[in-house]
Structure 1
Amino acid sequence: MCYTRAKEKAQKTLTLARKHVIPEFDTHRAAHKSYSDEVILDMFASICANNGSAHSEAEYGWLTDDDLTCDDSTFLRAIKKIATPEGSDGQLTFADFEDDDSIPEIDQIRDAIMMAFNAATENIINSIRGDDPFDSRETVAAIDITHEQFHVWPWEDKEAGVAKPDYPKMVSGYKKDGEYKRGYKYATITLVGDHAPIVLGIEPVKEDSAWERDDSPSYSKADLVSRLLDRAEQFVDLDMVMFDRGFYANRVYANVDERGLTYLSPVPRYEDDLAAIQDVQAHPTADKAVEHGVPLGIDGDVHHEAEFLYAPSTRDDADGNYAVFVTNKDRVEPEEIASVVNGYSRRWDIENQYKSIKDFLPKTSSTDYRLRLCNFALSTLIYNLWRLTDYLIKVALDEPVRSPPVITAKTFVRALGDFLREFG
């Protein structure tokens, strides 16, 4: 009986996708268009399911004489229209929208996409409110950044310090596995822990890179966090926010503290903490320590006090095999450290989340940022629908939310594409 109910729950998600989620992405094309938005988004799901591209999907449609598959140029033009702000015909650039402070208003592209993403996310959240998942437990979110690698070399002459003049402005440098790379960056805020791991918000990330001039525009981590929290708090009442060590900054923590939320974050480097770590190591019995009431300042003034926690770590890069965490949680006693630090493992979904979203991402060599950001948003939306399906099935089967997925992402996106094709 419960398996029948689980199947019904999964089909509910597919119906939700067709009626109330994917249709929020409007291409704003003329009513007499040859291919409807449903056809375009069905193609997108099919591309995700096959780990393909607009070109490969169009080629397959031509080979099979499929009337519901358009050519790749039509598909790409439609996707770009989703991300084109009202009143604009082309891709917005930094040069188009730089103000006196050289801060880019590329946000207009983001806002055009996120208006659709927010509406779709609200529909997803509302679909599970009947199960009352948010009122009876702590609501924890995690903020992190992922990369979509861009392989093109940025330098015209690196030795002379001359960069390519037309290099995409939204590409930033990053380091992964000890190697310096380049890519488009996206920040996300995701429900974690005992909730369905749904992405509540997306923000484009722009950072200064070695090939750019010193005053090139970029987004601060504090501003990114603020906007992500604004988006998330439209849908749920948060209790705690967890960060990757890349967000270690007083202004980031101040933004969270001002909202009455608790934060927990690892400290990226341990130079200032080596003495404390050595004290713990030298202690005959203790293997943990806490530094209470450490003042965190903004512009020379104390904003709030934080707790610095020192606990054993299994990470190879932790000095003295110790990890250091910072939190604004009320006074943490030494016997509570293990519980608080172990709670950080509730971020367990994030890396798997990014892997799944990247598996969905259509292959493209385009540098048009409308296409890049829209691809990421739509792929994230499909990830959310998969996670919603998995959540509803687990509720029907009375299985733990944190247990392995009942159905794979690949199976779900294939079913979604077939369902959209049949009923769209």
Structure 2
Amino acid sequence: MTATPDTITDVLHSIEEQHPSWPQTPDNPGETWPRVWDTAVFANTWFTHDDHNDLDEAILHYPFSANSFNYGAARWHRNTKSPEGMVKLHLIRLANGFDHESDFYDYLTETPEIENHLDFDDGFPTRSTLWKAWNDHLADDDDEAKISLQIIANTFIKTAREHNVPAPARAFQPAYDADELSNPDPDNPSVREYADQKTEEVWKEIGPFIHRTYNRCFDREDNASIDAGTFWEGQAYIAKQEDTYPESGLNDYKAETTRENVPCGRYHRDQLRDLPIEDIRRRHRQSTEHVLNRARQNGRLNRPTMASIDITKSAKPLCKLDSVEGWDPNPEKCDVTDEWILGYNDAADDGGDPDINYYYQFAGIRTNDASHPALLDGIPVHRDMARWEIVDELLKHSTDMVDIDILLMDREFDTDEVKAVCLKHGVDFLNPERMFNSEKATCTRLRKQRRMIHVEKKTVDVDDDLLDELLGNELDGMTDDEIEDFLTYTRVYLPAENPDLWRSQIEEIESTSPSSDDDTEQEVPDGDLQSDADIRSEMWGSFASKVLDVDQDWVSDEPPEELHSEREADVRSPFDDLVTDVKTEEEKNSRKRNSDKDKQLFALFATSHSDFPEFDDTEEEEKVEAVESFLKRYNDRWDLEEHWKYVRVFWAETKSRDHQLRFVNFMFACTLYNVWKIIDFLAELSFSDGRSDRPLIRRNKLLVYAKQSLEGVLT
């Protein structure tokens, strides 16, 4: 709890200035609306303060008189607890979703800091005292006081969630008899029983919302013979069965469901494939936000988190292209000219060269925090879709859903355009970078100088029009120096192996490589390691603009291959052949010096995060340790690739070649995956011996509830 006397005074002064008529309750005793208005004003002002991020604490500091609720306990009795304290305890009970005093008492014993804010001399009241306070001292003829307290509690919850303050529903609270469940083994019958109970409890809380949200995708009349929810229940049923497709799966579902009308497989597919991609994405985000808002725990799910972006593919290839066998299966059914069907190099089963297989592919963004496991958004990927467009589209809404501290990406997204997009959305990035001739030359120099680490600054370099499109608003009003500083990020070379193995690899390279006169080079400071290509690029720019009198806008990093054919005769120069000879000689030397073995000695990463360590006169191995400690967070990116496998578990099988239907399958599977991961995380919170190495929640159990949710089975 973070409130201080100063912050409390700030809140009360702010209310006094902005709402002179607050509070209304003393002038309207016994009425509900003044109580609720007073609560809304206080809660909104309280949570607006940056230091106030706890729901229980807000209730504890809410000023009111127990007399306004007709609290009937006699104050003079020696065993009487403070009436205001007792009413506040029941407000906390209602706000945390506890129906019974017994469970609430366990909660109080787990949060002793609550007692420090109440006027109790001898500890919390007993279970029986809590029961009497609610059933005897707050009892009146029409239960007006109890109804008011429930509305007030809901007002606190709603306002807290609007300010991104944890306000978990009861279903999302961990069990408080954790000692009985100390062994998180999924095969333990007690654990399995608890996990199934938690699955049902959470799905009752969020399942109806998810179905209502997805049902809005369909524009169906109220008297339609097939309810919109039937399509999603059927989708969950198909996903529950292995190797089951809509035609046969829905026939089986019809035999099990209590619904009178179930669509046939063809009608089911037709309805889903007509759903707009943007609408499905929006429904998934709404469902995910609803789940996260109700699952936020104090200290968890409400902090900045890492996120990863990656591209996944459909579970089975549409067709294969084998160098020997040719097309498999029937190529007529796999139109590889379709912009939505993309090739993918799959590793060969025999360890040989990878096969080219064709899939539908989807990009997604997922949080990497173990306490914040959610796929936030996804998009279908089509041919010629730029990677920066993928990142831009995924960050557009995800940054509103969670506070992304750093975005992890692989080399596939190693472009300056992607980095510019991250700057546009105010998200720091971390990703490995590819190595070209310039970077290979740097690795060679580092190896020759026995340097383990090299840090340099680089500026995002993109087309001016694209830069203006992406960052025009952010760069407006900045000076040139401020713009350069804004666009600058850090690159770091460090050993790909531990230092001892790295040194032995260098010795092996040098013992097997012929020596040359230029093996020893002058040491160059950090930030100034230029390759021949870098130097030649700078010389070419100066040469072209000054000697050839070419416009600077035309000058590129390399002399144009079509110089003689594309430029006018007066632009040609006798120096052209010399430039070409220099380039040819440099490339010949680079093949000797920019060894792939040198490249394999180092890893190259790029980041814009401010936590990247800075060095003065630190020993090299200490620098390496500091940088490796920072880069360890990149290991979490592999979680996303692992969790794509779990998403496919919730993926309904289909043989359809319609990319929209495939994407609907993908997004609905992501929604169910999010629910499953949240429930599994909440179940783990109830165990004292840490996390299980396997999921505690059974996927089939969730799918059972998903297909039953609107049939009245859970009501």
- 1:219-276: per-residue Cα shift (whole Å, max 9, x none)? 3221221121111112112111111211111011111123332100111345432233
Correspondent of 2:660 among 341, 350, 370: 370
The equivalent residue for 1:90 is none
CA distance in 1, matches of 2:238, 2:283: 20
After TM superposition, give the deviation of residue 346 of structure 1 in Å.
1.4
Q: Does 1:202 align with 2:378?
A: yes
- Output the amino acid matched with 1:336: A
Q: After superposition, what is the alpha-carbon deviation per residue over 1:373-406, rounded to whole angstroms, capped at 9, x for unaligned?
A: 1111101111111111112112232565795422
Could you say if the C-alpha distance between residues 356 and 322 of structure 1 is closer, same or farther in structure 2, counting changes exceeding 3 Å? same
SS across alignment from 1:233: helix
From the two aligned structures, give the one with the greater helix fraction.
2
Residue of structure 1 in register with 2:232 after alignment: 41
Change (3 A) 1:164 1:393: closer
Correspondent of 1:180 among 356, 381, 392: 356
In structure 1, what is the equivalent of residue 91 of structure 2? none
Instruction: Indicate conservation of the 8 Å contact 2:399/2:425, yes or no.
Output: no
* Between 119-128 and 143-152, the greater mean CA deviation after superposition: 143-152
* Aligned match of 2:714: 423
Question: In the aligned structure 2, how far is the partner of 1:294 from the partner of 1:328?
Answer: 10
Larger fraction in strand: 1
Equivalent residues of 1:190, 1:200 under 8 A apart: yes
1:348 Cα shift?
A: 3.2
SS of residue matched to 2:426 = coil
Asked if 1:72 is matched to 2:265, the reply is yes
Matches within 5 A, 1:289-300: 289-299=453-463
Partner of 2:493: 310
Matched, 1:262 2:262: no
Q: Whole-Å Cα distance in 2 between the matches of residues 170 and 329 of structure 1?
A: 35
1:169 to 315, 335, 339: 339
**1:163 deviation in Å?**
12
Partner of 1:348: 638
Aligned to 2:210: 21
Whole-Å separation in 1 of the counterparts to 2:209 and 2:251: 30
Unaligned runs of 5+ residues in structure 2 are 1-176, 182-192, 348-353, 468-483, 498-595, 615-622
TM-aligned CA distance change 1:410 to 1:65, over 3 Å: closer
C-alpha distance 66-417 of structure 1, shift in aligned 2 (>3 A): closer
Q: For residue 13 of structure 1, what is the amino acid of its counterpart?
A: V
Paired residue secondary structure (1:204): strand
Report the 3-state secondary structure (helix = DSSP H, G, I; strand = E; otherwise coil) of the residue aligned with 1:397: coil
Mapping of residues 199-348 of structure 1, within 5 Å: 199-208=375-384, 219-269=385-435, 271-282=437-448, 284=450, 288-299=452-463, 304-313=487-496, 319-330=599-610, 332-333=613-614, 334=623, 335-348=625-638
Amino acid across the alignment from 1:363: E
For the structure 1 residues 260 and 233, does the alpha-carbon distance in structure 2 shift closer, same or farther, using more than 3 Å as the test?
Answer: closer
Q: Kindly tell me: are residues 365 and 168 of structure 1, through their superposed partners in 2, closer, same or farther at Cα, counting changes over 3 Å?
A: farther
1:59 aligns with 2:349: no
Q: Is the 8 A contact 1:10 1:392 kept in 2?
A: no
Asked if the contact 2:238–2:250 (Cα under 8 Å) also holds between the matched residues in 1, the reply is no
- Residues 395 and 425 of structure 2 are in contact (CA less than 8 Å); yes or no, is this contact kept in structure 1? no
Instruction: State the structure with more CA Rg.
Output: 2
Task: In structure 2, give the amino acid aligned to 1:384.
Answer: N
Following superposition, the deviation at residue 326 of structure 1 comes to 0.9
C-alpha deviations, 1:302-338, integer Å up to 9, x for none? 5622222223447xx9942432211112454434210
Using a 3 Å threshold, how does the CA distance of structure 1 residues 38 and 17 change in structure 2: closer, same or farther? farther
Percent identity (aligned): 20
SS in 2 for 1:239: strand
Report the secondary structure of 1:207's partner residue: coil
For residues 340 and 420 of structure 2, the distance between their equivalents in structure 1, rounded to whole angstroms, comes to: 27
Report the counterpart of residue 575 of structure 2 in structure 1.
none
- Please, what is the CA RMSD of the aligned residues? 3.3
Shift of 1:199: 0.5
Q: Retained in 1: the 8 A contact 2:411–2:431?
A: yes
Match of 1:389 in 2: 679
Query: CA offsets per residue over residues 171-211 of structure 1, 9 Å max, x none?
Result: 22232322222221111110003433201111111123xxx
SS of the residue corresponding to residue 294 of structure 1 reads strand
SS at match of 1:13: helix
The one-letter code sitting in structure 2 at the alignment partner of 1:423 is L
Q: Which has the higher contact order (CA 8 A, sep 6+)?
A: 1
Cα separation, partners in 2 of 1:9 and 1:60, compared to 1, 3 Å? closer
- Measure, in 2, the Cα distance between the counterparts of 1:33 and 1:153: 43
Larger displacement relative to structure 2 (171-180 or 199-208): 171-180
- Structure 2 letter corresponding to 1:195: S
CA contact (8 A) 2:239 2:650 kept: yes
User: CA separation in 1, counterparts of 2:338 and 2:205?
Assistant: 36
State how far apart, in whole Å, the 2-side matches of 1:11 and 1:164 are: 42
Could you tell me whether the CA contact under 8 Å between 1:193 and 1:347 is conserved in 2?
A: no
